[in-house]
Amino acid sequence: MALQMTVPFLSSFLPNPRHRLTAHGFKPQIRVSKHISCSTTTPTYSTTVPRRSGNYKPSIWDYDFVQSLASDYKVETHAPRVEKLKEDVKYLLKDADSSLAQIELIDNLHRLGVSGLFENEIKQLLYTISSDNTSIEMKEDLHAVSTRFRLLRQHGYKVSADVFNDFKDEKGGFKASLSSDIKGMLSLYEASHLAFPGETILDEARVFTSTHLMDIKENINPILHKKVEHALDIPLHWRMEKFESRWYVDIYMREEGMNSSLLELAKLHFNFVQATFQRNLRSVSRWWKDLGLGVQLSFARDRLVESFFWAAAITPEPQFGRCREAVAKVVELTAVIDDMYDVYGTVDELELFTDAVDRWDLKAVDQLPEYMKSCFLALYNSINEIAYEVLKEERRNVIPYLRNAWTEMCKAYLVEAKWYNNGYTPTLEEFLQTSWMSVGSLGVQTYVYCLLGQNLALESNDFIEKMSNILELPGRIFRFADDLATSTEELKRGDVPKSIQCYMHEAGVTEDVARDHIMVQFRETWKKLNEYLVECSPLPQEFVNYAMNVGRSSYFTYKQGDGFGDPDSEQKKSYMSLFAEPLQKCVSKHILCSTTTPTYSITVPRRSGNHKPSIWDYDFVQSLVNVFNDFKDEKGGFKTSLSLDIKGMLTLYEASHLAFQGETILDEARAFTSTHLMDIRENMHRPSPS
């Protein structure tokens, strides 16, 4: 089932730290400033060495803008309200009158991003649901069976895929009549992505449902149609929690049966988490600026915000801020060091750097060229500082694990650099044995396990064996997603052949065939990772989820191109929604009429028009004003380029007069447009020069 790894590698990556250091006895080897003066005996390197360049664009993020990110949402301010909302939701969970109602509510809690607030309640309900196999209604409902299957597998229950045999016809295919049950088809499609290797019935389900869902016409419920499009773009199991919750809040508020307490709780919780993200991002942004590598090493990618996005996606829980900041640092340092090996350094220089990391000795700095010294010292100090914090607070020495992860990554980078310089194209499997480490997943996961694994038995042989596979599988998913999006551009820059090119060379096939093969490998690797959800393992389930989050982050980042190295406007908009734009809070309706309601006789016969309730949700109408945020710049003002669009400026000016009290964005719009429109009017009346 799992990928086989060699014992020597595992032993080198996860040494047995028998000699634990106590807090009072441990000191990082030396904490060195980035301004350290290095030995004058440094070897002289020729300045005429031809250097390649990745031609990466500068960061799209302004430092001052990042530092300005702040939120009005404080947990302590809203604590009483949150507790009341949580009690309301707990009552909903207790009061759900059927297994299907319970399942749908649990699913909503997950998609709204608040399931972590009700962990115990959800566990108890799922245990009961897993034991209930008597409901005929559930067995005949494709939506119910599929959602139950997905949630139980997601939570580690060994539920069989045979439950879907009841929806097959005599010929062994899925019943054609199912195609009219769009809700059920969508649920089966989502469930199919929880497949294990060899579960062909779920492969058939995915093909069957995706084919029919793509043929759906517009004349269905618009909310259901949005859900179908959303799922076909990226299935739920491959999506990241916080992006999904942001999107799903907008869907849930339009759902029939929407619960206002749950909606308000989801909005508040998202905004609390966003406020935590902002604090973490400001902190790592200051670290990156103080480090100075973005300026010193201009050949490398300066992608601090994108790096923090990975950290937030992998460990989204608000209480793990220290881990998020550490992971953001390792992702940015990985990008810089990867670029150094890929495009800038010579093989001789890279061998020296690899040796320096392997030795983990400051004396090795003397042998490095100038540009590498800053890089090594930044890496050295960052690891020691992180390890010192863990030791100080938890009395655990994680330096051996962190430095060995970096040693293995640098060795993998060096192998690929030599492949490139020798013009060597490896087989696909040979490439993957190295590239799952060089893609960066190894460092990220090691930091997560070391910083959050207080109770993990890191020294045990069982842990080492399980750890090896849980490290490699997300690395392969990451590698496949990256290569499918970036391999063409990376080859133009002068990089080693990627998985697509390796398979083309090995099998003698076209690029299209190779891409299809890599996508199949991508899916198969996900299936192997899915098995860890239900397998007995020394790894807690949350660590399996962190591994899956690596795969989810990579798929999101590279689905439409190189979202890390060359993020586009859509990518930036996504990051803004996660880090800068709070969800519109639930606003109490203002009482405009007198509170002294007249008393009417209850004996007067009254007729009723039996009119249906309004189809418009109040919070939805309130959120419409947010559409104008897209016309603002990074500093929060309206874009100056808008002044050229006179027709648009006039329309915005008119719209600003429909503002409600407190809608400052429309006040700003009115001031901005009226100023520019008056200038236009003056220019129109000004006589032309004779």
pTM (2 d.p.): 0.79
pLDDT tens figures, 566-604: 888 888 999 999 999 999 865 433 333 333 444 433 344
Phi, psi of 57 (to 5 degrees): -75, 155
Residues of the chain above pLDDT 70, percent: 80
Which pLDDT score is estimated for 272? Answer: 96
Q: What average pLDDT score do residues 217-232 get?
A: 89
Q: What is the CATH code of the structural domain delimited by 618-685?
A: 1.50.10.130
Percent above pLDDT 90 for the chain: 62
Q: What is the pLDDT of residue 613?
A: 56
Report pLDDT for 40.
36
Residue with tokens 């309200």: 81
Mean pLDDT on 513-539: 90
CA distance 447 to 334: 12
Q: For the structural domain made of 7-14+268-579, what CATH number should be given?
A: 1.10.600.10
Contact 473, 547 (CB under 8 A): yes
> What residue spans define the domains of the chain?
7-14+268-579, 96-238, 618-685
281-327 pLDDT per residue, tens: 999 999 999 999 999 999 999 999 999 999 999 999 999 999 999 99
DSSP 560: T
Tell me the pLDDT band of 132, cut-offs 50, 70 and 90.
confident
Average pLDDT, integer, range 523-543: 85
Burial 122-138 (b: 16+ CB within 10 A, else e): beebbeebeeeeeeeeb
Environment class of 606 (CB within 10 Å of its CB; exposed 0-12, middle 13-18, buried 19+): exposed
CA distance 197 to 203: 10
The SS3 of residue 638 is strand
Do 618-685 and 96-238 fall under one CATH topology?
A: yes
Using DSSP's 3-state secondary structure scheme, residue 174 falls into strand
Residue type, 634: E
* DSSP per residue, 455-480: T--TT-HHHHHHHHHHHHHHHHHHHH
Average of per-residue pLDDT across 469-480: 92
Has domain 96-238 been given CATH number 1.50.10.130?
Answer: yes
The three-point CA angle 237-238-240 to 5° equals 100
**Does 328 have pLDDT greater than 90?**
yes
Residue 680 has pLDDT above 80, yes or no: no
Q: Is the pLDDT of residue 146 over 80?
A: yes
For the range 619-625, what are the long-range contacts, defined as Cβ-Cβ under 8 Å and sequence gap of 24 or more? 619/253, 619/263, 619/584, 619/586, 619/587, 620/253, 620/254, 622/584, 622/587, 623/250, 623/584, 625/660, 625/663, 625/665, 625/666
Closest-CA residue to 38 (of 377, 351, 403, 410):
377
Instruction: Say what the alpha-carbon torsion angle 583, 588, 592, 596 is, to the nearest 10 degrees.
Output: 180
pLDDT of residue 459: 54
CA distances from 116 to 106, 269, 319, 466, 553 (A): 11, 11, 12, 26, 20
Residue 179, pLDDT > 90, answer yes
Least confident range of 137-146, 263-272, 325-334:
137-146
- H helix intervals, 59-141: 63-68, 75-95, 99-111, 119-131, 136-140
- Has residue 35 got a pLDDT over 70? no
> Is it the case that residue 489 has pLDDT exceeding 50?
yes
- Cα 380 to Cα 125, 130, 339, 384, 569, distances in angstroms: 48, 49, 18, 6, 35
Q: How many CB atoms lie within 10 A of CB 243?
A: 19
The pLDDT, as a whole number, for residue 448 is 92
Name the CA radius of gyration of the chain, rounded. Answer: 28
Exposed, middle or buried: residue 324 (CB in 10 Å: 0-12, 13-18, 19+)?
buried
**Residue 140: per-residue pLDDT:** 86
What is the pLDDT at residue 31?
35
198 contact partners, CB below 8 Å, separation of at least 6 = none
Task: Evaluate if residue 99 carries a pLDDT over 60.
Answer: yes
Which residue from 266, 109, 315, 309 is spatially nearest to 582, judged by alpha carbons?
Answer: 266
Q: Which two tokens stand for residue 437?
A: 């480490």
Between 366 and 664, the more confident residue is 366
Q: Using N-to-C axis directions, what is the helix angle for 321-339 and 260-291, rounded to 10°?
A: 50
pLDDT attached to residue 7: 34
Region 259-264: mean pLDDT is 97
What is 274-313 written as a DSSP string? HHHHHHHHHHHHHHHHHH-HHHH-TTS---HHHHHHHHHH
Query: Which amino acid would we find at residue 328?
Result: A
Element (H, E) at 58: none
Q: DSSP letter for 218, please.
A: S
Mean pLDDT of 539-553: 90
Contact assessment for residue 364 and residue 355, using Cβ atoms and an 8 Å cutoff: yes
Q: What is the pLDDT of residues 43-62, one digit of tens each?
A: 444 456 778 776 788 999 99
